[in-house]
């Protein structure tokens, strides 16, 4: 009987094994995860779960009973030591496990501060897994001062949660502006104003020189020469694809585990999906760090493991929740040269439309789900309304879909 092994029990891994069973695969399935919790949602960790608005069981992607009911062997708290693609075996905690096909859904790992500048001190956290959030939750006492390092979406979301819990928040961003790597100046301006209105102290163009303290962080020295007293620190300076296992196995890497359009890696009978995988997209190669990509790509890989031969066509979309603002993003803004703003029907709702020449690339919609949905459909249909039509408040947005 054929045996499919999936390494990485996150969103992609859980979606892949579920799809295999849904598509009537009757062979043996083993899903291996390093964490002790069954596969769970990550986005709510630093928001609803940390705020106490979501119980642990609601984080789980599927009931714990699902895996046994579907005859999926779930190995949690397990570490894969090595892969031998020639022998088609893995070494898991010293035990040899044979496979017929293997999928790597190993996800990503957060960048941490170097120990040389205090990154190993107590009270310094990253936001990635359940254990990270459980460890930092007791720190969120009202009136405490948290330093957040990094002004991307993770840092800004952490700042919003900290303010909701009554903390004093300072956020430092080394770049000239928050969200510089991922969004337009217009989107940065919107979120800077939002956080300022809630009392977050944002320091842009300011880096962290070092954290101070004996065994636990008590302060921070910044690149502008100032010093802060802090109670704890949250680090949100990006993530990297988890590729060490693939590298050990001799698989080709290119900004992640390199796959073809169907999810195959350079290793025979080895596939990859989710945060860890890079794949062809239009005339380039990308890696998408998002829940929708993890689900969609993993399900395509599951189909292809069963011989369907379907290309994965990514439809990028993302979201971020901060205070009472829901940001929804459609498309990829890489290479944009102009941005058009459109104000929505409700106060505070706005969307920013990214163009390269006359081509619509992406939309950032803040509290404007209508603009997001129309923008997403336009992008996926390859339609590009004239920028002046987007900017004109009299434009019937639905009519743009028919143009």
Q: What angle do CA 62, 68, 70 make, to 5 degrees?
A: 75
Q: Which residues contact 69 (CB under 8 A, 6 or more apart)?
A: none
CATH architecture of the region 324-402: 2-Layer Sandwich (3.30)
Q: Which residues contact 33 (CB under 8 A, 6 or more apart)?
A: 8, 9, 10, 13, 39, 74, 75, 76, 77, 78
* pLDDT tops 90 at residue 402: no
Do 183 and 161 meet the contact criterion of CB atoms below 8 Å apart? no
**CATH number of the structural domain 112-235:** 3.50.50.60
pLDDT, tens digit, for every residue of 166-203? 999 999 999 999 999 999 999 999 999 999 999 999 99
* pLDDT tops 90 at residue 400: no
Percent of the chain past pLDDT 70, that is, above it, reads 100
pLDDT, tens digit, for every residue of 299-347? 999 999 999 999 999 999 999 999 999 999 999 999 999 999 999 888 8
Predicted local confidence at residue 97, as pLDDT: 98
pLDDT, tens digit, for every residue of 95-117? 999 999 999 999 999 999 999 99
pLDDT band at 397 (very low <50, low <70, confident <90, very high): confident
Domains 3-109+239-305 and 112-235 share a fold: yes
Predicted local confidence at residue 345, as pLDDT: 83
pLDDT, tens digit, for every residue of 337-362? 999 999 988 888 999 999 999 999 99
* pLDDT tops 80 at residue 384: yes
The structure's pTM equals 0.95
* pLDDT tops 80 at residue 403: no
Cα distances (angstroms) measured from residue 152 to each of 139, 171, 173, 189, 217: 22, 10, 8, 13, 23
For the chain, domain boundaries: 3-109+239-305, 112-235, 324-402
Predicted local confidence at residue 221, as pLDDT: 98
**CATH number of the structural domain 3-109+239-305:** 3.50.50.60
pLDDT, tens digit, for every residue of 19-77? 999 999 999 999 999 999 999 999 999 889 999 899 999 999 999 899 999 999 999 99
| Cα separation, 320 vs 179, whole angstroms | 12
Predicted local confidence at residue 366, as pLDDT: 98
Predicted local confidence at residue 380, as pLDDT: 95
pLDDT band at 398 (very low <50, low <70, confident <90, very high): confident
Residue tagged 């944002």 (tokens): 202
Average pLDDT for the chain: 96
Predicted local confidence at residue 344, as pLDDT: 87
Q: Residue 136 phi/psi, 5° resolution?
A: -85, -15
Predicted local confidence at residue 32, as pLDDT: 98
In DSSP notation, 160-219 reads HHHHHTT-EEEEEESSSSTTTTTS-HHHHHHHHHHHHHTT-EEEET--EEEEE-SSB--E
Q: Which residues contact 162 (CB under 8 A, 6 or more apart)?
A: 140, 146, 148, 169, 234
Greater confidence (144 vs 283) lies with 144
Residue tagged 């979201």 (tokens): 319
pLDDT, tens digit, for every residue of 218-230? 999 999 999 999 9
> Residue 38 gets which letter from DSSP?
P
């Amino acid at each position: 009987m054929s045996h499919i092994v999936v390494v990485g029990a996150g969103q992609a891994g859980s979606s892949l094994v579920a799809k295999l069973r849904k598509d009537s695969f009757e062979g043996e399935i083993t899903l291996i995860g390093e964490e002790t919790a069954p596969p769970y949602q990550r986005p709510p960790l630093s928001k609803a779960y940390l705020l106490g608005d979501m119980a642990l069981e609601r984080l789980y992607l599927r009931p714990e009973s699902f895996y046994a009911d579907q005859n999926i062997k779930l190995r949690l708290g397990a570490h894969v030591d090595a892969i031998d693609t020639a022998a088609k075996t893995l070494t898991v905690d010293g035990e040899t496990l044979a496979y017929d096909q293997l999928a790597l859904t190993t996800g990503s790992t957060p960048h941490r501060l170097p120990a040389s500048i205090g990154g190993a001190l107590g009270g310094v956290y990253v936001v990635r897994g359940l254990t990270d959030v459980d460890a930092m939750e007791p720190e969120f006492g009202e009136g405490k001062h948290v330093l957040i390092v990094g002004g991307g979406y993770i840092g800004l979301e952490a700042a919003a949660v900290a303010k909701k819990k009554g903390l004093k928040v300072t956020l430092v961003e080394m770049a000239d502006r928050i969200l510089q790597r991922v969004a337009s100046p217009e989107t940065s301006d919107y979120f800077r104003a939002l956080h300022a209105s809630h009392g977050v102290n944002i320091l842009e163009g300011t880096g962290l020189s070092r954290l101070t303290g004996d065994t636990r962080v008590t302060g921070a020295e910044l690149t502008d020469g100032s010093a802060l007293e802090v109670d704890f620190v949250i680090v949100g300076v990006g993530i990297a694809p988890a590729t060490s296992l693939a590298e050990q196995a001799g698989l080709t890497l290119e900004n992640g585990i390199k796959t073809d359009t169907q999810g195959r890696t350079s290793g025979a009978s080895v596939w990859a999906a989710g945060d860890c995988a890079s794949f062809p997209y239009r005339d380039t190669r990308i890696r998408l760090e998002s829940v929708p990509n993890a689900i969609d790509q993993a399900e395509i890989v599951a189909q292809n493991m069963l011989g369907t031969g379907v290309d994965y066509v990514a439809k990028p979309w993302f979201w971020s929740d901060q205070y009472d603002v829901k940001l929804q993003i459609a498309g990829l803004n890489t290479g944009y040269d102009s941005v058009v703003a459109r104000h929505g029907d409700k106060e505070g709702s706005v969307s920013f439309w990214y163009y390269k020449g006359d081509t619509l690339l992406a939309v950032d919609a803040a509290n404007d789900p209508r603009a997001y949905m129309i923008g997403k459909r336009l992008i996926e249909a390859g339609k590009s309304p004239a920028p002046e039509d987007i900017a004109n408040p009299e434009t019937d947005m639905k009519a743009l879909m028919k143009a």
